Amino acid sequence: MKLLSVAVPCYNSESYMDRCIQSLLTGGDEIEILIVDDGSTKDRTPQIADEYERQHPSICKAIHQENGGHGQAVNAGLAAASGIFFKVVDSDDWVNEEAFQKILAVLRQYAQPESEENALDMLVSNFVYEKQGAKRKKVMNYRSAFPQNELFGWKDVRFFMKGQYILMHSVIYRTSMLRDCGLLLPKHTFYVDNIFVYYPLPHVRRLYYLDVNFYRYFIGRDDQSVNEKVMIGRIDQQLLVTRLMLGYYDILKLKPRKLRHYMMSYLEIMMTISSMLAIQSGEPENLQKKKELWQYLRKQNFPLFIRIRWGFLGQGVNLPGRSGRKIFSVCYKITRKFYGFN
């Protein structure tokens, strides 16, 4: 059994997948790299995956499947994983080698727990926005939220600042926990990384935060899924993921208060992003979809609707009329420039 399985979803990734895989190979024989070719047809992605398997048979495994999207590639990686822990690294991203060794040292420590109370379900580390052309690299850390270098539970969580939330880049999960909770991401849908990090959280009992800048999150390709124009073009998929996540919130009724609060804050961010895309598009059809999303939340979970709709962000994205949308759009652009996202 491997210590860590890393799934690398690849779709026509020839021009950048080498950097990703080479950075992961520094983990050595304790890890397995599951290179999932998601039906690539336009370049040598399938051949490159096979070459890595031939060159590193004890570490790399090539998985070929019909195109099913990012979520199906993650599903395939999880199904094939033999590691005690599981992580996803997108093929245009990479990891820091020095931080990787520190990550593996922590995973080793908790690989074979003496009891369930000592089982590590989720390891959190920092990630860096590697935005093309940006002089200042923004680091997402969790020092204000989590104790450092110790096993802890949700009751020990401190304070999450606005905009500080856990992404796929931040997490490594215990593989058995992901399987036991029934995680299955939808096919042919973008932005399912939000579901990947959100759905398992109620099943996480013990966490560990390591303050290292491990994951390097590349932003800059015109065709990238987080490019604003691309996101607007795929607004229906963003709305679908948001609706699915709203439906998951009920499973938190008996969970710790701090976890419940964090999950509600995450939904607030998802509602804000969906609304922002509709406003930025300026299309009447998308503005109607925004209205329908808020109506859906009101009908689905009225107490949650009240808390999100009348919070700071909820009021911002629902300022009335064309002038209200223009005010929000200006505020959004200032925020985007300051934080360096998209």
Q: Judge whether residue 225 has pLDDT over 70.
A: no
Same domain, 210 and 232: no
* Same structural domain, 236 and 103: no
For the chain, give the mean pLDDT: 91
Q: pLDDT category, 257, cuts 50, 70, 90?
A: confident
User: Are 30 and 54 in a shared domain?
Assistant: yes
Predicted confidence band of residue 321 (pLDDT cuts 50, 70, 90): confident
pLDDT exceeds 50 at position 338: no
Q: How confident is the model at residue 340 (pLDDT cuts 50, 70, 90)?
A: very low
pLDDT for residue 316: 87
**Domain boundary residue, one of 219, 251, 276:** 219
What percent of the chain stands above pLDDT 90?
74
The CATH number of the domain holding residue 42 is 3.90.550.10
Position 101 scores a pLDDT of 98
Are residues 272 and 137 both part of a single domain? no
Range of the structural domain that residue 119 is part of = 4-219
Q: Which residue would you say has higher pLDDT here, 10 or 219?
A: 10
Do 58 and 192 have their domain in common? yes
Widest CA span in the chain = 60
Question: Residue 22: which pLDDT band, with cuts at 50, 70 and 90?
Answer: very high
- Structure-model confidence comparison of residues 316 and 68, the more confident one: 68
Confidence grade of residue 115 (pLDDT, cut at 50, 70, 90):
confident
Which of 218-227, 264-273, 316-325 shows the lowest mean pLDDT across its residues? 218-227
Give the end of a domain, one of 194, 219, 244: 219
Encode pLDDT of 85-95 as tens digits.
999 999 999 99
pLDDT band at 226 (very low <50, low <70, confident <90, very high): low
> Rounded mean pLDDT of 266-284?
92
Assess whether 252 and 177 both reside in one domain.
no
> How many structural domains compose the chain?
2
Do 295 and 182 lie in one domain? The reply is no
What's the average model confidence in pLDDT over 223-241?
Answer: 83
Looking at residues 279-300, what average pLDDT do you find? 94
Both 193 and 321 in one domain: the answer is: no
Convert the pLDDT of each residue in 167-219 to its tens digit.
Answer: 999 999 999 999 999 999 999 999 999 999 999 999 999 999 999 999 999 98
316 or 332, greater pLDDT? 316
* 158: pLDDT strictly greater than 90: yes
Q: Does 74 share its domain with 199?
A: yes
Same domain as 42, residue 185: yes
Query: Given a cut of 90, is residue 323 above it in pLDDT?
Result: no
Residue 332's pLDDT band (cuts 50, 70, 90): low
Last residue of some domain: 189, 219, 249? 219
Q: 160 with 309, same domain?
A: no
Is the model's pLDDT at 17 over the cut of 80?
yes
143's tokens: 């020092």
Residues 173 and 249 reside in one and the same domain: no
